[in-house]
Amino acid sequence: MAGNLDHAGRPVVAVTGLGVVTSLGRGKAENWTKLTEGRSGIHAITRFPTEGLRTRIAGTVDFLFDTPVAAPVLSERLATLAAEEAVEQAGIGTKGNFPGPLFCAVPPVEAEWPHRRELASECDPAQPITYPALLAAAGRGKHADWHEGFLFGTVGDHLADRFGAKGMPISLSTACASGATAIQLGVEAIRRGECDSALAVATDGSVHAEALIRFSLLSALSTHNTPPEAAAKPFAKNRDGFVMAEGAGALVLESLEHARARGAKVLGIIEGCGEMADSFHRTRSSPDGKPIIGCMKKALADAGVSPNDVDYINAHGTGTPENDKMESMGVIAVFGERAHGVPISSNKSMIGHTLTAAGAIEAVFTLLTIANSRIPPTINYEVADPAITLDVVPNVARDHTVRHAISNSFGFGGQNVCLVFAGAPQ
């Protein structure tokens, strides 16, 4: 039986609970079935009018509320469901009494247009709207609950209260790497002996008109509106951008020693984390790929795992022309000639880009990939890109034994994180 300390003498960090919600559905079972069937959760947006918008599709989660709710409300609900599933599976603590801290990746949210418009309706109709007028309306105190509703800390606060997590919850954002950062912070806290367990959650329920338009104005989104399920085309030559999506992922992290001592079923191991920021540009990767290469190399070194031992790469794979090209280049730089023999697939081809939540959702899927020895495909791969020569597991899931896997997350703002996973120790 493998020891409880890793190659560097640190506590091994086990995963004992997993939870997930995406546009494919609620829970691991439904998601895994659909994911390995190659089904897409992308659909036409019905939450708000999309007439005149260049992009009219997304992977929104529409099955939790009957009427549209504000982004933090949906984000909190998604996170709660994912965390409940993970904590229940882990069987850790008692209800409402999780024994460790919470690391919670949340989308940056603010009062939305419906709120602004309601406030505007309370201003003098004879005068143009100004912010001083809006402030005066706000100061009448009629919307006091919007304060708590839109604080950045609120989703994390509510989750910490609900699950009884210990200490101050950490709310965080590293854009599209946020979910991986939440896991990384939990791993570090366990490794330094600060806690025996941690709850890492990442959630994003922030698809609304302005968010969609903002990404659209950056030319980041696919405009392949029909059929929606064919829009996300990672690694394909005709890829034309990512598809915004919603969801949440949650992981119960535990020192292996703690998990074993309480007889918990270990689902997998987080062997290493690597990170390197990019100083090149706000939205584009450094042309030499140094930060992408660096974060993968750092993660493998942190894990004590050689590139030769990696059997699967869970790609960031957004489907933007830029990301997939740079990620492919980075993989080839790290894995050398072997790069073409290591399967790499993008969950985003099916669930879209869940932004803040992506790193955690894809960590859940990577651990399921290892546990089931089955790799979910990259769907919508119809036109090969001669510049990307990797084995992208096109269109159909594949049985494959995976001992070690990595999952990449790269964010706007140059925040790049790579996580290394292994199956449960024998």
User: Which of the residues are catalytic?
Assistant: 176, 316, 353
Shortest spacing between CB 398 and other proteins, in angstroms: 34
Query: Contact region for other proteins (CB under 8 A) — 50-58, 59-67, 91-99, 243-251?
Result: 50-58
Q: Which of 1, 52, 66, 426 binds other proteins (CB under 8 A)?
A: 52
Shortest spacing between CB 199 and other proteins, in angstroms: 14
Q: According to the binding rule CB under 8 A, does residue 160 interact with other proteins?
A: yes
CB of 255 within 8 A of CB of 11?
yes
Segment 7-36, which members bind other proteins (CB under 8 A)? none
Q: According to the binding rule CB under 8 A, does residue 64 interact with other proteins?
A: no
Segment 256-275, which members bind other proteins (CB under 8 A)? 275
Shortest spacing between CB 305 and other proteins, in angstroms: 19
Segment 194-253, which members bind other proteins (CB under 8 A)? 194, 209-210, 213-218
Of 229 and 275, which CB lies nearer to other proteins in the complex structure?
A: 275
Spatial separation of the C-alpha atoms in residues 182 and 103, rounded to whole Å: 5
Segment 318-337, which members bind other proteins (CB under 8 A)? none
Q: Which of 323, 354, 408, 415 binds other proteins (CB under 8 A)?
A: 415
Distance of CA 123 to the CA centre of its chain: 40
What single-letter amino acid sits at 25?
A: G
Shortest spacing between CB 219 and other proteins, in angstroms: 8
| Residue 299 to residues 36, 193, 270, 307, Cα–Cα distance (Å) | 27, 20, 10, 10
Sign of the C-alpha dihedral, residues 54, 229, 82, 323? negative
DSSP codes, 112-168: -HHHHHHHHHTS-TTS---HHHHHHHHTTSTTHHHHHHH-TTHHHHHHHHHHT--SP
Q: According to the binding rule CB under 8 A, does residue 67 interact with other proteins?
A: no
Q: Count the Cβ atoms, other than its own, within 10 Å of residue 297.
A: 17
Shortest spacing between CB 172 and other proteins, in angstroms: 5
Q: Which of 88, 148, 309, 382 binds other proteins (CB under 8 A)?
A: 148
Q: Which of 6, 157, 254, 385 binds other proteins (CB under 8 A)?
A: 157
Spatial separation of the C-alpha atoms in residues 60 and 91, rounded to whole Å: 30
Of 293 and 388, which CB lies nearer to other proteins in the complex structure?
A: 293
Segment 354-393, which members bind other proteins (CB under 8 A)? none
Spatial separation of the C-alpha atoms in residues 146 and 33, rounded to whole Å: 39
Q: Which of 68, 99, 153, 425 binds other proteins (CB under 8 A)?
A: 153
Q: According to the binding rule CB under 8 A, does residue 132 interact with other proteins?
A: yes
The CA radius of gyration of the chain, in Å to the nearest whole number, is 21
Shortest spacing between CB 380 and other proteins, in angstroms: 26
Shortest spacing between CB 9 and other proteins, in angstroms: 9
CB of 354 within 8 A of CB of 24?
no
Q: According to the binding rule CB under 8 A, does residue 280 interact with other proteins?
A: yes
Shortest spacing between CB 416 and other proteins, in angstroms: 9
Spatial separation of the C-alpha atoms in residues 42 and 30, rounded to whole Å: 16
Segment 282-311, which members bind other proteins (CB under 8 A)? 282-283, 291
Q: Which of 2, 44, 144, 383 binds other proteins (CB under 8 A)?
A: 144
Of 148 and 309, which CB lies nearer to other proteins in the complex structure?
A: 148
Spatial separation of the C-alpha atoms in residues 157 and 23, rounded to whole Å: 25
Query: Contact region for other proteins (CB under 8 A) — 75-83, 177-185, 222-230, 334-342?
Result: 177-185
Spatial separation of the C-alpha atoms in residues 351 and 22, rounded to whole Å: 7
Query: Contact region for other proteins (CB under 8 A) — 37-45, 66-74, 142-150, 396-404?
Result: 142-150
| Residue 109 to residues 190, 268, 279, 283, Cα–Cα distance (Å) | 29, 33, 26, 20
- Contact pattern from residue 89 through residue 128 relative to other proteins, giving x for each residue in contact according to CB under 8 A and a dash for the rest: -----------------x-xxxx-x--xx--xx---x--x
CA dihedral in degrees (134, 135, 137, 141; nearest 10)? 140
Of 378 and 407, which CB lies nearer to other proteins in the complex structure?
A: 407
In sequence order, what are the residues at sequence separation of 6 or more whose Cβ sits closer than 8 angstroms to the Cβ of residue 229? 39, 40, 42, 43, 380
CA-based nearest residue to 317, from 118, 161, 176, 140: 176
Spatial separation of the C-alpha atoms in residues 331 and 408, rounded to whole Å: 10
